[in-house]
Structure 1
Amino acid sequence: MDTATTDESGETDWTFLRECTDAYPPGVDDHHCSQILANVVARYVIRTRINQGPDAIPEWVVDYLMEITIDADTEWGWESAAAVGWAVGHSDRAVLDRVVDQTDTESEPWAMGILKHVTFADPEAGITLLERLLDSPDTREDLTFLRSLERPLKQDLPNFPQYWEPQTELKYEVSFTNEQMNRLLEVLGDAVHPKRLEKFDDQFAFDLQRAADGYGSAIVDRHTRRKSDGRIPRPSGGGGGQECSRP
């Protein structure tokens, strides 16, 4: 289908793709067609972002991918749709706002998938999205979100969408600057209790001990003030950290 969705000049035929997605929209329980379409559209989102920038991605594509769900469109289609993260920075579609607004305790895996793609596309935006998600009262699995930022440390392009090898056609590199790494540790130190950071330090590629030592005092102070005011401190992650156990 990759060949069918390019015009004679080799450009993406977004008109044809829209006709296909209009014929098989998300949520119609046509799993076979919808998951293939999601996979193909996701590839073009990544290609377009790398070759032309986020504003070259049509607005309707962002809306389409954001509407795909695991229940109606299968896990395969849902995982492909996370490539909407590559549209971060789009002038007319606030991707980060929509992810934060649509994330609750039931949809955290969905947000984590998009967070991974956002970080591949723009590490600074990935840190911003992580910060906003950790600051949300609906977020429970705090350190699990950090897993989404680890993959870009190891490779330049994502493993999804499936059945596509982007490294064979795209020249792209991603890395964290020292300033971005420092900002990430500051975000973690401000959002996650230092004892929790220390506990899971050896399970992450990031220096959680440094985050706890250098930035962790702020959250301790907030917890102390909340207790003195008679308020219940916000919990730091659900399940007592079980989600961070080694696979």
Structure 2
Amino acid sequence: MNVVGRFIIRTRIQDGITTVPEIALKYLRAFSGQYDHKLAQTEAHCYGWGIAHPTHSVTAYLREVVVDKPWWVQQTLEHAFYADQHAATELLRQLITEESLAFTVPLAPERDVTEDRFLLECLVGPDSKKYRPTVPRFWSTIEDYADEFEWDATVEEQLRTLVEETGIAKELPTDWTFQELAF
């Protein structure tokens, strides 16, 4: 898992998404439901780096499994933002505005959050200079790449508008940042 995740990221960064073999993405996707093997499921978050692949739709799979695997989708979506902000923004918008995807996620015994509030938390990591993706494990190159992450101004505005449209911004301070979306 670790090697495949590294390979996908390195290949995408160096040669572009079109050079990432579809079989590598299918391999990571296969571990998305490995609840009995948490490490494999976590390493599979690198699947998000395959967003906008020309022959393998990461977007379609994440939409398909978001209700059954919300935690995995949220973390994978965060990785997708590092890979392609525009494609990840479009996917996040689809997930949040798709009425048939209404669900709640338990955060604590007495606290559930709606799907839009839950999914928007994926913006916290890319927005932080202190946080870096933790998978693939033991690979400093991803930390170097994550240090370079900057929001595209258009994307940032689209995401801020999306947060406003959900009504969640009413619960945040007036001068809110994506950091306020953290649980």
Gap regions ≥5 residues in structure 1: 1-37, 209-243
Matched, 1:70 2:14: no
Matched, 1:129 2:103: no
Deviation at 1:126, TM superposition (A): 1.8
Mapped contact 1:120–1:157 kept (Cα < 8 A): no
TM-score, normalised relative to structure 1: 0.60
Q: Secondary structure at the match of 1:71?
A: coil
Matched, 1:48 2:1: no
Higher Rg of the two aligned structures: 1
Deviation at 1:188, TM superposition (A): 2.3
Question: Given the superposition, is the C-alpha separation of residues 185 and 170 from structure 1 closer, same or farther in structure 2, using an over 3 Å criterion?
Answer: closer
Residue among 111, 117, 120 paired with 1:143: 117
The residue identity in structure 2 corresponding to 1:118 is: A
Q: Secondary structure at the match of 1:90?
A: coil
Mapped contact 1:201–1:207 kept (Cα < 8 A): no
Deviation at 1:171, TM superposition (A): 8.9
The residue identity in structure 1 corresponding to 2:35 is: D
Q: Secondary structure at the match of 2:151?
A: coil
Matched, 1:91 2:54: yes
Residue among 64, 70, 77 paired with 1:108: 70
Deviation at 1:200, TM superposition (A): 3.4
Counting matched residue pairs gives 169
Which structure has more relative contact order (CA 8 Å, sep 6+)? It is 2
Q: CA RMSD in A?
A: 2.8
Mapped contact 1:124–1:180 kept (Cα < 8 A): yes
Residue among 116, 119, 138 paired with 2:81: 119
Deviation at 1:205, TM superposition (A): 2.8
Q: Secondary structure at the match of 2:75?
A: helix
Deviation at 1:101, TM superposition (A): 1.6
Q: Secondary structure at the match of 1:70?
A: coil
Question: Given the superposition, is the C-alpha separation of residues 108 and 45 from structure 1 closer, same or farther in structure 2, using an over 3 Å criterion?
Answer: same
* Partner residue, 1:197: 169
- Find the aligned partners of 1:107 and 1:127 in 2 and give their Cα distance: 19
* Partner residue, 1:186: 161
Deviation at 1:157, TM superposition (A): 5.4
Deviation at 1:245, TM superposition (A): 7.7
* Partner residue, 1:60: 23
